[in-house]
């Protein structure tokens, strides 16, 4: 989605693109900038995502992370997966693939993997 807008701006003559977002959108903007390395800057307002806190505080989230990461490690990372996330103390269920869930939620995931959550879809609570 971000790439599409950036491409539209470049097609209209923009030479320097700045991406930004609020809350989780700030993390998405940073992930896009790190992955693409073709923006002039990033504006992050109240960035949010600390997988270690959720992992340590919520046993259900920890269990889901372990299940998703086990699927990813066993070569089943593209399998549909639904697990919990935490938003300001409220648990929400997200649906994505096991590999994306593991990369986004696991405190042990490589930082480069944090660029993949754009693929995530949030399900209803």
56-91 confidence digits (pLDDT tens): 989 999 999 999 999 999 999 999 999 998 877 788
pTM equals: 0.58
Model confidence over 8-32: pLDDT tens digits? 999 999 999 999 988 878 878 888 8
Q: How far apart are CA 43 and CA 116, in angstroms?
A: 19
Of the candidates 34, 92, 35, the residue with the CA atom closest to the CA atom of residue 58: 92
What is the per-residue pLDDT for 112? Answer: 36
pLDDT over 90 for what percent of the chain? 39
**Using CA atoms in the order 2, 118, 36, 8, what is the torsion angle rounded to 10 degrees?**
-20
Q: For residue 54, what pLDDT is reported?
A: 85
């Amino acid at each position: 989605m971000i790439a599409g807008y950036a491409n539209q701006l470049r097609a209209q003559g923009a030479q320097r693109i700045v991406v930004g977002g609020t809350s989780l959108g700030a993390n998405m903007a940073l992930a896009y900038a790190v992955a693409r390395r073709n923006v002039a800057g990033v504006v992050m307002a109240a960035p949010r995502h600390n997988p270690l806190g959720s992992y340590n505080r919520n046993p259900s989230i920890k269990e889901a992370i372990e299940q998703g990461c086990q699927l990813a490690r066993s070569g089943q990372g593209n399998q549909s997966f639904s697990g919990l996330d935490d938003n300001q103390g409220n648990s929400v269920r997200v649906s994505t693939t096991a590999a994306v869930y593991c990369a986004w939620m696991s405190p042990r995931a490589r930082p480069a993997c944090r660029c993949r959550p754009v693929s995530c879809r949030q399900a209803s609570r």
